[in-house]
Amino acid sequence: MHNEHSDSNFQSRIDKGEHIEARDYMPENYRKHLIRQMSQHAHSEVIGMQPEGNWITRAPSLRSKQILLAKIQDEGGHGLYLYSAAETLGISRQELIQSLHSGKAKYSNIFNYPALNWADIGAIGWLVDGAAIVNQVSLQRTSYGPYSRAMVRICKEESFHQRQGYEIMAKMMKGTKDQQAMAQDAMNRWWWPSLMMFGPHDTDSPRSSDAVKWRIKRETNDELRQKFIDKTIPQAELIGLKVPDDKIKLDEKTGHYKIGEINWEEFQRVVAGHGPCNKQRLDHHKLYFNQGAWVREAAEAYKQKHLKQEMQTI
């Protein structure tokens, strides 16, 4: 007899390209894998608001301030969809935040670098959102239904983010020599960490084999990184930016760019908590999370009051 609650039935549903929904049978390791990845993704979106938030009050025009505000609010919204999607797997928001605060849960390496000047806002939008979108377009087809649907909505907003960043860079490259130098400096600092966002090479990626088997990942770390490289280098050249890598070469046969060695030692150091801003980012999150406790308590008290009233009317 066909057993709906078996790992083999689960794998055959995955192989057929079906979505797995919250109430469907899933192996415990699939559930845990998703909680880890989705919560890390949610934490990245929320922690990622910090480097840009730093520039809201210093945006050079009302237009750029409005755009930046809207973008940062979007990132907060992405975090909320993703926390909600992770909660469908039977874990609470409180537990997810505790794991972030204790250092058990990670967030993207990229948000441990500082945004030093306005050109960095351009580089973040263009390169960081550009890298995020390549990864997230692929995740739209991930096997877990709530994650996949969250990604569809998020991708629509990310493409606007990428364009606002590119617009800032393009404008600066048409500006004065000083503005051009600022844009190039931002490119030099953000290029390599953006490439690291895709994670270690496939040969050093312990999570990939399960992720590919369960179709959580539809493309591997290296495949997605290559897509980003191929799409971004021509964009840099178009506006006169130099990619900070002397080994870049277009392979005429494959149509793909080859690049130099990524500094994985730097990646490991930053992910382990020793990047330029790790402590600052977590301290900031803890401070405002604790200051907001009264809002959560008030919302809970309001909910309980209404539940009690409803019970009395039954």
Residues in contact with ligand FAQ by CB under 6 A are: 36-37, 40-41, 44-45, 48, 75, 106, 108-109, 124, 128-129, 132, 135, 196-200, 205-208, 211, 221, 271
Q: Which residue has the tokens 């539940």?
A: 307
Q: Is 122 left (phi over 0), alpha (psi -120 to 50) or beta?
A: alpha
- For residues 262 and 197, the answer to whether their CB atoms sit within 8 Å is no
**Residues in Cβ contact with 191 at an 8 Å cutoff, skipping those fewer than 6 apart:** 127, 243, 244, 245
We find the least distance from the C-beta atom of residue 236 to ligand FAQ, in angstroms, to be: 18
The residue among 19 and 180 lying less far from ligand FAQ, judged by its C-beta, is: 19
Dist. CA 157–CA 76, nearest whole Å: 12
Q: Is 90 left (phi over 0), alpha (psi -120 to 50) or beta?
A: left
254's tokens: 């494959």
CA distances from 117 to 122, 123, 148, 236, 304 (A): 10, 10, 35, 19, 46
We find the least distance from the C-beta atom of residue 296 to ligand FAQ, in angstroms, to be: 23
Helix axis angle, 93-102 to 28-47, nearest 10°: 70
The residue among 36 and 180 lying less far from ligand FAQ, judged by its C-beta, is: 36
The residue among 213 and 242 lying less far from ligand FAQ, judged by its C-beta, is: 213
We find the least distance from the C-beta atom of residue 112 to ligand FAQ, in angstroms, to be: 9
The residue among 128 and 173 lying less far from ligand FAQ, judged by its C-beta, is: 128
In sequence order, what E strands does the chain have? 249-251, 256-258
We find the least distance from the C-beta atom of residue 262 to ligand FAQ, in angstroms, to be: 11
The residue among 219 and 245 lying less far from ligand FAQ, judged by its C-beta, is: 219
We find the least distance from the C-beta atom of residue 141 to ligand FAQ, in angstroms, to be: 13
We find the least distance from the C-beta atom of residue 200 to ligand FAQ, in angstroms, to be: 5
247 phi and psi, to 5 degrees? -95, 0
Dist. CA 280–CA 259, nearest whole Å: 32
- For residues 216 and 142, the answer to whether their CB atoms sit within 8 Å is yes
- Tell me the residue nearest to ligand FAQ as measured from the CB: 48
The residue among 145 and 180 lying less far from ligand FAQ, judged by its C-beta, is: 145
The residue among 40 and 64 lying less far from ligand FAQ, judged by its C-beta, is: 40
We find the least distance from the C-beta atom of residue 155 to ligand FAQ, in angstroms, to be: 11
